[in-house]
Structure 1
Amino acid sequence: MEASWETSVTDSINTIYLLFSAYLVFVMQLGFAMLCAGSVRAKNAMNIMLTNVVDAVVGSISYFLFGFAFAFGDGSNANPFIGTEFFALKDVPNSSYDYSYFLYQWAFAIAVAGITSGSIAERTQFSAYLVFSFFLTGFVYPVVAHWVWSSSGWLSPSSSSLLFSSGAIDFAGSGVVHLVGGIAGLWGSLIEGPRVGRFDAFGKPVPMRGHNATLVVLGTFLLWFGWFGFNPGSFDKILVAYPNTTNQGNWTGVGRTAVTTALAGSTAGIVTLFGRRLLVGHWDALDVCNGLLGGFVAITSGCSVVEPWAAIVCGFFSAWVLIGLNILALKLKFDDPLEAAQLHGGCGAWGLIFTGLFAKEEFVIQAFNSGETGVVRPYGLFLGGGWGLLGAQVVEVLVIVGWVSVTMGPLFYALHKLRILRISIDEEIAGLDISSHGGYAYTAHQDNTPRFYADYMRLQNQS
């Protein structure tokens, strides 16, 4: 009877912790909304907030009906996609976690579409958001999640047949979440092309600054707060039996993961601050916010398996990855209003490689083998762990880029050929709020309705 009671308490604590982490990750949707709203021009603020809400609500239905089964279902049910039987099939060791684990994974899934939405902001038809959000959340992302996070996934570090005797370590999703969203956004932005007026007749970039720095900073801090559920929360069970010890659990790993997350983001933020100061000649809070987020994206892969000092190294280089990719994007006339492809794609890829270089063997065994004694696993190349882990990390980068490219690229191209991807030039100039939604985010903007409407009608008549 006593053992049963102890098991019940352990399960209850694990479930509560997982649900609390899911709530923190869901708060990131508010962070995305504020960051996006502040980063676009005022005439598109209502539209971008609507798309953030749509990403969440459409993603919820898509992930429930299809995505969760693709990611974690075992395929033994005749109807594995819909209904409560579906939850009982999930690839989780203890079935009591099914509902809480679904909620946690759902919060991750809806974040992916939000990343992609930022890349195609200010010029995309609303119907296109509905289509790509449903497909990305219900199919494209879950397949990658299965590869890496399911115990039967061929890239999983918990698989019975480990790739290169290691498996790819992507603890909280630098690749599964961020690289997937970034590559999808890359294809969407490439196929749509840059916003009207982003580059002049000579190909030189024209600044299109977001209209509200306050919202950008608010969104950044909300995302930082949510990341403490995103990364430490990926220890989905904090009470687990460790051998030869009375210390039941991942408490140390949870605390260390939170510290590495904060250090990587902070380092990237300060490096971006001074790096951009050297390049453009002034301090810029918005650049620091993106640099900070780039550091969080990069550490998300190895947050649980690296030392705090290594997290500082991760953040330092992630800042330069972001700065370098932004410079390259301008040279190639690539227009991503929120730098999502560069930030989430570039820094996500760097985070996977970083883990292959700096993962510590003790922490790898702690995170994936519950601290078992006598276990030998590949770990970071720079720490003497050989090439196995790094090789698996490189494979993950390549297969994610390939998979998302062959699924989302054709989808965006089909939407483009059907003429339901990009809005017309006159609508873009007038703004999505006036042309598509009949409302404004700000009263002051609404007061200018006659002028904007007159401009819009003049453009309509000219066309």
Structure 2
Amino acid sequence: MEVSWETSVTDSINTIYLLFSAYLVFVMQLGFAMLCAGSVRAKNAMNIMLTNVVDAVVGSISYYLFGFAFAFGDSNPFIGTFFFALKDVPNATYDYSYFLYQWAFAIAVAGITSGSIAERTQFSAYLVFSFFLTGFVYPIVAHWVWSSSGWLSPSSTSPFLGSGAIDFAGSGVVHLVGGVAGLWGSLIEGPRVGRFDAFGKAVPMRGHNATLVVLGTFLLWFGWFGFNPGSYDKILVPYPSTTDQGNWTGVGRTAVTTTLAGSTAGIVTLFGRRLLVGHWDALDVCNGVLGGFVAITSGCSVVEPWAAIVCGFVSAWVLIGLNIVALKLRFDDPLEATQLHGGCGTWGLIFTGLFAKEEFVVQAYNSGESGVSRPYGLFMGGGWGLLAAQVVEVVVIIGWVSATMGPLFFALHKLKILRISAEEEMAGLDISSHGGYAYMGHPDESHPRYYAEYMQIRRQ
């Protein structure tokens, strides 16, 4: 069949845009690596950087062999296709560029979970859970929400509760999945040695390099412009009732709502933490910014910019509040990944159910067709339908990830291949598992305890 010149150009531009967005999302792996490396103690820097590389390389193979087929294959994700997803997925619209974009999302999930169990986990355990998470657990959720045949998909021919769950770029599909998986890993492993004293009071274990944390935050911010606006996988889609509107009109708005939510969360966290701890803290602000991004990721395409500011404001307090609760419960997550990605991801889904605008919902999911009516945000006059679907997504994600990753981490624990020994943990994973520290000479003389441990190991 002959393809017109206009169609060829449109397809080319859509492909280039999607691939460029995939590259931006992949840059987030570097952001995760820098953020994680800076947030841990110097004696574990090499280990955490290696685990971020492993998340990408293991996730690539796992997602290719299993994950993409589970996510976008047969209408029943438990039967049908298993291997070689690019060949087996029976939909011509899912091409190589679409695979690459979805792969970049999949490996981000494993990176989130890795942060929760940092500084005390055996390297072999990373290999196991990364493969399982990217190849099976995450793709099933992606199928539910993002596949056209998924039961929660807003693009389904018979959407759940008339609307489906709107999770445009993955507050739930990506961030809540990674956060819940990290929750179970951290709970089963327990706190790091020395994190809490004999009276249960938290002992500070600050990361060793604020520069890397800030660098990682800005790299993640940059990558989020592919994560959220890039989820318009076809930008050259003209709306049938207009000559000057299409998906491209929503791309800029999505980038703006993303920026405003993250910026608001950052400034609120800055002043909120100043009131609580008595000083300005760059690291807290970085996590606040990321919490705002996580929250807006669900509704970035269907809310007004002013609503994004509301989203960021609340997400900052969600993060601050959950961190206080975590310390009281003696829950140890070195990267605050469970609180940030799980807590703010949950708020993001609820926020969408409250503030989604009908016009934007129709644009994002019905290509701007005139005469279409869809459930939208409760606070915008749209009733309870969309909010109910959002709550259902939260519940089923927590249930599914808990039912899969919880037993996996428990099995690794029982097999004694999850947590390192207390001696190795005190010495540092770099020297015990990777042949030496990430830095020349010794980890950091400005931390006498690390230096003393290092010298003791050298004398041995």
Q: Do the structures match in fold with TM over 0.5?
A: yes
> After superposition, where does 1:326-341 map in structure 2 within 5 Å?
326-341=323-338
Give 1:172's aligned amino acid: A
- Aligned partner of residue 442 in structure 2, secondary structure: helix
Residue of 254, 257, 261 corresponding to 2:258: 261
Structure 1 residues 134 and 187: alpha-carbon distance in aligned structure 2, compared to 1, 3 A threshold: same
1:308-329 Cα shifts (integer Å, max 9, x gaps): 0000000000000000000000
Alignment of 1:220-369 (within 5 A): 220-247=217-244, 249-369=246-366
Aligned position for 1:415: 412
Unpaired stretches in structure 2, ≥5 consecutive residues: none
Any idea what SS the aligned residue of 1:443 has?
coil
CA distance in structure 2 between the partners assigned to 1:42 and 1:454 by the alignment: 15
Q: Which residue of 2 aligns with 1:41?
A: 41
Shift of 1:81: 3.4
- Provide Cα deviations, 1:303-359, integer angstroms capped at 9, x if missing partner: 000000000000000000000000000000000000000000000000000000000
CA distance in 2, matches of 1:370, 1:48: 43
Q: Structure 1: which amino acid aligns with 2:275?
A: L
Q: Distance in 1 between matches of 2:374 and 2:451?
A: 67
CA–CA distance in 2 between the matches of 1:88 and 1:6? Answer: 28
Q: Secondary structure at the match of 1:238?
A: coil
CA contact (8 A) 2:287 2:340 kept: yes
1:81 is aligned to 82
Distance 1:354 1:75, change over 3 A: closer
**Cα distance change, pair 327–59 in 1 and its aligned pair in 2 (3 A):** same
Give CA-to-partner distance per residue, 1:56-113, whole Å, 9 cap, x none: 0000000000000000012799983334xx4254365x53x51000000000000000
Q: Secondary structure at the match of 2:4?
A: helix
Do the aligned residues in 2 keep the contact of 1:439 with 1:446 (CA within 8 Å)? Answer: no
Kindly state the Cα deviation for residue 447 of structure 1 after the two structures are TM-superposed: 9.2
Q: Offset at 1:213?
A: 0.1
Q: Distance in 2 between matches of 1:400 and 1:288?
A: 28
Amino acid at match of 1:197: G
* Deviation of the 1:4 alpha carbon: 1.2
Gaps of 5+ in 1: none
RMSD: 2.0
SS in 2 for 1:445: coil
Query: For the structure 1 residues 453 and 320, does the alpha-carbon distance in structure 2 shift closer, same or farther, using more than 3 Å as the test?
Result: closer
Question: What is the deviation of 1:165?
Answer: 0.4
Match of 2:164 in 1: 167
Query: Residues 42 and 443 of structure 2 are in contact (CA less than 8 Å); yes or no, is this contact kept in structure 1?
Result: no
The answer to whether the Cα contact below 8 Å between 1:10 and 1:239 also exists between their aligned partners in 2 is: yes
Q: Secondary structure at the match of 1:172?
A: coil
In 2, are the aligned partners of 1:91 and 1:151 still within 8 Å (CA)? no
1: CA distance, partners of 2:443 / 2:293: 37
> TM-score if structure 1 supplies the norm length?
0.95
Question: Number of matched residues?
Answer: 455
1:258-309 superposed Cα distances (whole Å, 9 cap, x missing partner): 0000000000000000000000110000000000000000000000000000
Measured after TM superposition, the shift of residue 176 of structure 1 is 0.1
Residue type of the alignment partner of 1:351? G
Q: Tell me: CA distance 1:444–1:456, structure 2 relative to 1, closer, same or farther (3 Å).
A: closer
Q: Is the 8 A contact 2:442 2:454 kept in 1?
A: no
Per-residue CA deviations over 1:116-161 (Å, capped at 9, x if unaligned) read 0000000000000000000000000000000000000000000111
Tell whether the 8 Å contact from 1:242 to 1:248 is kept in structure 2 after alignment: yes
Give the % identical residues.
Answer: 86
